[in-house]
Structure 1
């Protein structure tokens, strides 16, 4: 049973994070190359703005903001699942190669498959999921030992190796491609928010509407998987079945996110850790907090990055500037 005081603390933190996201949204809408003053924000939302103000808000700023929030939430939840099923605090879909696997699949699809403009947006998450799934399965197989089960430290090392190898494969793929397609993939590698339009939101949203509630439903299973294997088996958990189902869930969340935002790492590493430090390690408590923190982290990184210099800094680069030192801190501590 969860103590009422902890539940109350979690609800307060959720409300505060919601307000923080809302404040960042308002700031993100109001600043940028195309001006939209804060006092004109509400009239524009109510349909009383000029053509320019409505174009800036509804065609440029709002879709990008929604995409970054949704993608950040998906990456944070994916990281939390991976950390739970591997019992490894350093697991993250970007660090252990899942994002890179999705990137290779997207690159092959973009370079060599005839593209139908109408279905391109909606096919990307499925293509990314296929590539990420193959990568995740290979990493899992190389990290698993028959006598010792899944090896958490081995998983991170194998994942980092896969990530580097797949990144090299992407460079080979684009070395002989057309300039326009090279620019697209280079932007993807840097973690630029390239899918900043309403169709991309419609392509990403169904994955979250299905997988987020499913993960919250499986929160207690994640608690049990976080224990030692004998304890989990003793209480009746089918380890391999639950790990496989949750691994597929984590892959789906990460692949759907990076298919529209590019190769973004460290959100799935930082958000669960920050959430656990606030409300404790029980998944029922920290998963909703981690989801909100992930959404805010990516939104904040993108807002700062696109306004820091005229040409903008990709959100993935901004997150890496924060996340890489944090990863090193965790690595040294563990």
Structure 2
């Protein structure tokens, strides 16, 4: 009994420490959010930002803050959290620490649909504003469905190994198709496609915020409610079944949630890579591997990373996705070296 009470006390302290880290990450999101509001081609001091938020700023300051910066920063918060949560889910159900939404072809599927639309449409600016998000989400969902269908077998459903291998193969095939299509674009079309593929946050007005917000409002609570299921699935197929988990059903639901999160984020934020890989890894180092805490920490880490990357992007006039890649590529190599 004494040993049990000591273990329970130690576990309580670990949980309290992990949750305090989550609170710290939330405060960091607020700090980076405020810094980002002050940063750009036209600098607004903290006093100017405060006055403008309270309605006492000039017309120019109000335009800069409310029409240009705030929508973009809010999109960064939502997209960063969505990508990181999708990556955390995939790493949990595949038990692969290098998994991210690109692993199941979500980013590639969305990109292919956008490139097809650009190639077939004579004028992109004349298109309705929600056309590209809808097509990108459809492409992401179609790619995820194709991977699941090809990885499924009647004998044992979807195994982790088949899911990963099929995802890599589908992603490679779609990427090859994208390269072929981009070679046939005219200069104007190619410029737009290259910017979108580089991961530029292009949906930067309040309409796109309102488009993405319902997806996040539904999917994030659903994923948080599945934290215990992710804990069980992370133990392996045999143990999961032994503990009473409905393996194939739960894996399918979580895979659908990851595809929906990543697809909606790609549709609004562009083809941004590495957030789904780096966010969960940083969170796991900070709070451990219990998904009740890890999911919240991953979402906050992803938001911090993307706000910071987008702030640097606005200063340097470089696509946000490239800034994330500059940060993410060395970290990815480090993870590969550790895995080896």
Scaled by the length of structure 1, what TM-score is found?
Answer: 0.90
Contact 1:106-1:259 at 8 Å conserved across structures: no
* Cα distance between partner residues in 1 of 2:81 and 2:295: 10
Question: Does residue 1:330 correspond to 2:308, yes or no?
Answer: no
Task: Indicate which of 83, 88, 106 corresponds to 1:98.
Answer: 106
Task: Indicate which of 79, 86, 95 corresponds to 1:71.
Answer: 79
Question: Does residue 1:36 correspond to 2:49, yes or no?
Answer: no
* Cα distance between partner residues in 2 of 1:329 and 1:150: 30
* Cα distance between partner residues in 2 of 1:289 and 1:60: 28
Question: Does residue 1:7 correspond to 2:15, yes or no?
Answer: yes
1:184 Cα deviation from its structure 2 partner: 2.2
Contact 1:194-1:262 at 8 Å conserved across structures: yes
Question: Does residue 1:107 correspond to 2:112, yes or no?
Answer: no
Question: Does residue 1:244 correspond to 2:269, yes or no?
Answer: no
Contact 1:88-1:153 at 8 Å conserved across structures: no
1:116 Cα deviation from its structure 2 partner: 11
* Cα distance between partner residues in 2 of 1:169 and 1:116: 21
* Cα distance between partner residues in 2 of 1:214 and 1:120: 31
Contact 2:104-2:143 at 8 Å conserved across structures: no
Q: Deviations over 1:135-155 (max 9, x none)?
A: 223334555677776554564
1:251 Cα deviation from its structure 2 partner: 0.4
User: Equivalent residue for 1:314?
Assistant: 319
1:171-186 superposed matches below 5 A: 171-186=179-194
CA RMSD of aligned residues (A): 2.6
1:328 Cα deviation from its structure 2 partner: 1.9
1:213 Cα deviation from its structure 2 partner: 0.3
Q: Deviations over 1:173-227 (max 9, x none)?
A: 3433454433222111000111111111011111100000000011111111111
Task: Indicate which of 269, 273, 277 corresponds to 1:269.
Answer: 277
Question: Does residue 1:170 correspond to 2:175, yes or no?
Answer: no
* Cα distance between partner residues in 1 of 2:90 and 2:134: 20
Q: Secondary structure at the match of 1:88?
A: coil
Contact 1:125-1:255 at 8 Å conserved across structures: no
Q: Deviations over 1:15-34 (max 9, x none)?
A: 21122111112221212112
1:1-334 superposed matches below 5 A: 3-112=11-120, 120-143=128-151, 150=158, 152=160, 155-307=163-315, 309=316, 312-334=317-339
1:45 Cα deviation from its structure 2 partner: 0.6
Contact 1:275-1:289 at 8 Å conserved across structures: yes
Contact 1:95-1:266 at 8 Å conserved across structures: no
Q: Secondary structure at the match of 1:293?
A: helix
Q: Secondary structure at the match of 1:3?
A: helix
- More displaced, 220-229 or 291-300? 220-229
Query: Compared with structure 1, are the counterparts of its residues 52 and 271 closer, same or farther at alpha carbon in structure 2 (3 Å cutoff)?
Result: same
1:79 Cα deviation from its structure 2 partner: 0.4
1:331 Cα deviation from its structure 2 partner: 2.1
Larger C-alpha radius of gyration, 1 or 2?
Answer: 2
Query: Compared with structure 1, are the counterparts of its residues 245 and 145 closer, same or farther at alpha carbon in structure 2 (3 Å cutoff)?
Result: same
Q: Deviations over 1:105-140 (max 9, x none)?
A: 233345447999999444544433322222223334
Could you tell me which runs of 5 or more consecutive residues in structure 2 were left unpaired when the two chains were aligned.
1-7
* Cα distance between partner residues in 2 of 1:81 and 1:102: 19
1:44 Cα deviation from its structure 2 partner: 0.7
Q: Deviations over 1:279-325 (max 9, x none)?
A: 11111011101100001111111111221x3xx11111111112112
Contact 2:137-2:266 at 8 Å conserved across structures: no
Scaled by the length of structure 2, what TM-score is found?
Answer: 0.88
Q: Secondary structure at the match of 1:202?
A: helix
Could you tell me which runs of 5 or more consecutive residues in structure 1 were left unpaired when the two chains were aligned.
none
Q: How many corresponding residue pairs?
A: 331
Contact 2:18-2:288 at 8 Å conserved across structures: no
